[in-house]
Amino acid sequence: MSSGGTTEMMSVWGLHVVPAAGGAPRDLSTETRAWIGEFVWSTDSRSIFYVPNEGTSLRGAGMFEQPIFRSWIDSGRSERVTVGPTVNYSPSLSRDGKRLAYRSVEALTMGDVFVQDLVPGGKARKLTDTNPELAELTLGTIKPIHWRSFDGMEIWGLLLTPPGYDGSKKIPLLTYCHGGPIGGFTYGLFPQFMHTVPQVDIYGTQAMASAGMAVLFPMPRGGSGYGVEGFKMIKNSWGEGDYKDIMAGVDYVISLGIADPDRLGVMGGSYGGFMTDWIVTQTGRFKAAATMCSISDLSDLYYLSDGGDFMVEYFGDPLKDSARYAAHSAITFVNNVTTPLLIQHGENDRRVPLMQAQKFYKALKSLGKTVELEIFPRGGHVLSEPAQQREIMRRNLAWFQRWLKP
């Protein structure tokens, strides 16, 4: 895997081969332009199976899928191996090279092991049923939707509606902002984390749907689904075009007659936490918000985060461009907040240090805003303890039930 000679994070991390004896590397992923996360050689070494774990290789409704591809070494030709709207990873070949095993996530599952015969028209067979309890539950319906943003760009997202929802009445809408910025949503029970070995989400979106709320998972510019050019569309401009993309999606769901414009909520973690903080400083349309491992001050993120150097790629040197950092930081506009905000953070978060949450909370509290802060002991950028995972999902559900009254 290589960025092909570029040093930017906002690039294609493609699949390259080079002769063992030396020579120039050759890119095998030029057709898919995919950010490769996993690969496995065929038994005859004539081809490679690979998975685009980020910066999805498909566009439109396909951006929520994650197929397994195969590229031939001699010709560089690529073909899609898996079919259907699924999210696949962890490929492994049989000893004779005739079968491919992998984990596959369908629209409303946590993923199971499948085996597929590597012959034309070969069918995939499901071998496991790791969460049989799901069959006993009535889950909401999730489907791709798309809308036009302020500049005419087509933006996509997933929309989750409650079990049995018939569209006859308007219901509360939660907008879930994804992390990243280079990131996005896929199919799966936890749509933000099903593209790789899954983390447990902080928002139990199916529980929220069962409580009578719809959930919008927007894919704004800056994240996956629009190629490298899409990644770069938010350089020097976090909270500008991406914010407008999200709000255009909210307006679209309202226009469908699904969302009640007086009962809107917004939530997200990491970059999604930045976006949530930013949104409540830019508009008072949302009646409740929840933000996790959130970024309130971009300059502090550069100086204190374990990954802060990537901020230079977006905004330049903070010593020289401090005004640009401040202009795109929620803390600068904290006086504008009218939305009740639940702030949650892991005590030992190195990616987005705890002070980001404490700083925003302190400012909001001193201004008399409605805000609560929860710090999860031992927690990092994600929570790994089952009791904490369960508790944060319960708290977020209760928070939105309190303010949106589904």
Identity (one letter) of the amino acid at 40?
A: V
The DSSP bridge pattern shows strands 341-346 and 371-376 to be parallel
- Alpha carbon 228 to chain centroid distance? 16
Active site residue 328: no
Active site residue 296: no
| Crossing angle between the packed helical segments 271-282 and 241-255, to the nearest 10 degrees | 70
Q: How far apart are CA 383 and CA 386, in angstroms?
A: 8
**Tokens 């895997």 sit on residue:** 1
DSSP string, 293-306: S--S-HHHHHHHST
> In 3-state terms, what secondary structure has residue 80?
strand
- Closest to 58 (Cα-Cα) out of 77, 33, 83: 33
Q: How far apart are CA 365 and CA 1, in angstroms?
A: 47
**Tokens 């930017």 sit on residue:** 8
Question: Residues 239, 241, 243, CA angle at the centre, nearest 5°?
Answer: 50
Q: How far apart are CA 149 and CA 34, in angstroms?
A: 25
**Catalytic entry in 270, 296, 305, 329:** 270
State the burial class of residue 327 (Cβ atoms within 10 Å of its Cβ: 0-12, 13-18, 19+).
middle
**Tokens 């699924």 sit on residue:** 86
> In 3-state terms, what secondary structure has residue 210?
helix
Q: Which residues belong to the active site? A: 270, 381
